[in-house]
């Protein structure tokens, strides 16, 4: 599976490189043809200092530099226009008659009709520059989902009827087969524990922060990691139906859906193109009709055709084709300087409009590492840390990190996976673990502490309970500030989705201040919550684990926390926070709104100027200078729009100054 997927990814990358090289070659060829043609026509030693259709009836014109210039313009135009024409034809086949390709083709043909040959080439060259910039910004951060596929177990330890272990690929395992999983290994297929007991790391499956202690009869999810001891399971599903396979399937399905989303400029062109064509047609037909359908003369049909074509020239989308991608590119560049990677223009647009923000808990709103939350007598903390130093359990580390002094010598250490640990200090036997573990070993005067978090108890074997230790995933100090900042940006609702126990999820939600919280969720549960909210408005999901990948893809914009995030989550996301500063989620929201505001205002300015020039041309104020006015206005508007959209690079952060993550 992984190999075939790699080949597909390699093929996609090769196609992308070919397209990029093709665009660069087209750009260079187009510029060369444009420059040579321009120089020739300006230095024509004959009477021809330009190109007009009337010259083609004169034999001398065919031996002039101007004619050679016309050939160069035409060859350059045809070479650059081939892809535009192909895209336009493809659009027609899909019944999409009005898109940016149609507008560019009509505008450039119009430029040719009124002998503005350089303008026709400029339009196509600007289109190539715009597309190249946007594709570069999009593909710069594109990674292969191959790393998610590689996280799938490559083999399984199959136990045959003689007790011999044979390595098989997961696809070869049948329902009811016995598998052995060693410490540190990933479970290949879902099953039920039939031998041994251990702790499992489920963070890559459901985002649960605490390792789960399991005993015989408990269900074991594929993709979970065995932490402490050898176990055997009986499989209950085939490989393709197992939990991790389903997650990978959800990722690929949601990714293919998202790839179909249209670009901003495509949607805009569907409205802009037919309006421009209709205006030009109305101007020509109205003027021609008012002239009494007389072709020649000072107000004949030829004059009105000239004006209509000039309007097409004015409406040429140069300003939009170049300034819109540059605006998005500037936004991506500014975000990059803030440590945020944005994969193209669509995430910026969707982020600016997102009203429902979903958050994973572990590694997103919390730091993903455990701390001791309660104050413990230093004498008991020293005993506990000394014993726990002999364990590699994540909860043990929290107790050890809380103690800074010299440890005691511990003898006869015994780990009881799923229950606790015991050890001898100066001849006395001490126990640390669950309530049941201590009671079953004769600990008296037991006082249970009520908390949603994990509690470990310390007691002397056959003696009294001595102390307790509340261990919890540490909440990020900036999480609450970030959620408050999102409210300033008019976000309607913030929701925390967690695979942790509901009581723990609710406590964390209370600490950070989310509007709504749901716990005990599997990846498909998170997916359903996001899809439900998407019926009401744009959604954003912020997460970091393999289990978050489907949710990152299903939301309108997925944000991955890059510092602690898995490769799969980073690949599946639209935006990657390159460090662990969650305040950047709110800052990216603000930057996206700011950027889209700049881009839309540039579009409005461009259209207003073009409308004003169209009116001047239509009522005849421009007279014989209509095409010159059209060309100058188009170029000037383009330059102003480009400079204006590039001002996004001057954006000043607001929320990053409030508190450090």
- Secondary structure letter of residue 263 according to DSSP: P
CB atoms within 10 A of CB 219: 11
Give the CA-trace dihedral at 561, 563, 568, 572, to 10 degrees. 30
CA atoms of 465 and 67, how far apart (whole Å): 101
CB atoms within 10 A of CB 497: 27
Residues 6 or more apart whose CB falls under 8 angstroms from that of 149 comprise 1, 2, 5, 6, 248
Residues 6 or more apart whose CB falls under 8 angstroms from that of 371 comprise 398, 401, 402, 471, 472, 473, 474
- Secondary structure letter of residue 364 according to DSSP: I
- In the structure encoding, which two tokens stand for residue 412, read together? 């006869």
Say whether 624 is catalytic: no
- Tell me the residue ranges of DSSP E strands in 297-386: 340-342, 356-360, 366-372
Length of the chain: 661
Residues 6 or more apart whose CB falls under 8 angstroms from that of 89 comprise none
CA atoms of 466 and 430, how far apart (whole Å): 10
Q: Tell me the C-alpha to C-alpha distance, in Å, between residue 1 and each of 7, 23, 245, 256, 257.
A: 10, 34, 11, 18, 21
Residues 6 or more apart whose CB falls under 8 angstroms from that of 621 comprise none
Q: Name the active-site residue from 44, 83, 213, 360.
A: 360
Residues 6 or more apart whose CB falls under 8 angstroms from that of 436 comprise 419
Q: Tell me the C-alpha to C-alpha distance, in Å, between residue 84 and each of 104, 170, 195, 358.
A: 8, 48, 65, 40
Count of alpha carbons within 13 angstroms of residue 322, beta-carbon side = 23
Count of alpha carbons within 13 angstroms of residue 526, beta-carbon side = 36
Residues 6 or more apart whose CB falls under 8 angstroms from that of 30 comprise 76, 79, 80, 121, 124, 125, 128
Supply the residues annotated as catalytic: 360
């Amino acid at each position: 599976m992984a190999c075939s997927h790699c080949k597909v990814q390699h093929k996609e990358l090769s196609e992308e490189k070919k397209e990029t090289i093709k665009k660069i070659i087209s750009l260079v060829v187009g510029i060369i043809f444009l420059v040579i043609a321009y120089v020739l026509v300006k230095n024509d030693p004959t009477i021809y200092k330009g190109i007009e259709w009337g010259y083609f009836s004169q034999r001398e014109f065919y031996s002039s530099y101007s004619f050679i210039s016309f050939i160069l313009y035409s060859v350059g135009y045809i070479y650059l226009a081939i892809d535009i024409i192909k895209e336009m034809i493809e659009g027609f086949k899909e019944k999409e008659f009005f898109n940016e390709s149609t507008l560019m083709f009509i505008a450039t043909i119009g430029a040719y009709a009124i002998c503005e040959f350089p303008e026709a080439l400029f339009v196509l060259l600007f289109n190539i520059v715009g597309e190249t910039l946007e594709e570069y910004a999009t593909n710069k951060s594109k990674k292969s989902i191959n790393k998610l596929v590689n996280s799938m177990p490559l083999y399984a330890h199959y136990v045959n009827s003689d007790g011999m272990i044979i390595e098989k690929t997961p696809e070869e395992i049948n329902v009811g087969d016995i598998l052995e999983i060693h410490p540190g290994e990933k479970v290949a297929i879902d099953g039920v524990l039939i031998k041994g007991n251990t702790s499992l790391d489920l963070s890559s499956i459901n985002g649960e922060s605490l390792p789960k202690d399991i005993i015989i009869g408990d269900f074991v999810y594929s993709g979970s990691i065995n932490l402490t001891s050898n176990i055997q399971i009986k499989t209950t599903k085939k490989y393709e139906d197992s939990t991790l396979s389903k997650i990978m399937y959800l990722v690929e399905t949601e990714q293919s859906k998202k790839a179909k989303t249209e670009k901003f400029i495509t949607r805009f062109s569907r409205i802009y193109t037919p309006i421009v064509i209709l205006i030009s047609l109305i101007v020509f037909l109205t003027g021609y009709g008012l002239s009494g359908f007389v072709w020649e003369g000072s107000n004949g049909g030829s004059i009105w055709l000239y004006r209509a074509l000039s309007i097409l020239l004015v409406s040429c989308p140069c300003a939009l084709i170049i300034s819109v991608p540059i605006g998005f590119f500037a936004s991506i560049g500014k975000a990059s300087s803030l440590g945020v990677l944005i994969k193209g223009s669509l995430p910026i647009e969707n982020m600016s409009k997102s009203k429902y923000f979903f958050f994973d808990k572990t590694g997103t709103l919390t730091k993903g590492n455990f701390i001791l939350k309660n104050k413990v007598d230093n004498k008991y903390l020293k005993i506990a840390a000394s014993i726990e130093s002999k364990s590699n359990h994540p909860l043990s580390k929290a107790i050890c990190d809380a103690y800074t002094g010299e440890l005691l010598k511990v003898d006869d250490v015994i780990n009881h996976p799923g229950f606790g640990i015991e050890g001898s200090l100066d001849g006395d036997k001490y126990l640390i673990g669950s309530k049941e573990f201590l009671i079953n070993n004769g600990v008296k005067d037991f006082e249970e502490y009520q908390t949603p978090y994990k509690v470990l108890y310390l007691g002397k074997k056959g003696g009294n309970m001595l102390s307790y230790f509340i261990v919890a995933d540490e909440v990020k100090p900036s999480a609450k500030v970030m959620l408050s900042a999102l409210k300033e940006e008019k976000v309607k609702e913030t929701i925390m989705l967690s695979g942790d126990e509901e009581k723990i999820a609710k406590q964390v939600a209370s600490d950070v201040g989310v509007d709504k919280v749901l716990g005990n969720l599997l990846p498909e549960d998170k997916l359903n919550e996001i899809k439900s909210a998407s019926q009401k408005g744009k959604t954003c999901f912020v997460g970091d684990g393999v289990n978050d990948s489907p949710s990152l893809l299903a939301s309108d914009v997925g944000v991955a926390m890059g510092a602690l995030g898995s490769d799969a989550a980073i690949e599946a996301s639209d935006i990657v926070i390159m460090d662990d500063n969650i305040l950047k989620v709110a800052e990216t929201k603000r930057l996206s709104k700011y950027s889209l505001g700049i881009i839309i205002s540039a579009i409005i300015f461009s259209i207003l100027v073009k409308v004003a020039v169209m009116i001047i041309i239509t009522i005849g104020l421009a007279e014989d200078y209509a095409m010159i006015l059209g060309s100058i206005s188009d170029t000037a508007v383009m330059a102003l729009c480009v400079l204006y959209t590039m001002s996004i690079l001057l954006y000043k952060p607001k929320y990053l100054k409030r508190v450090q993550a």
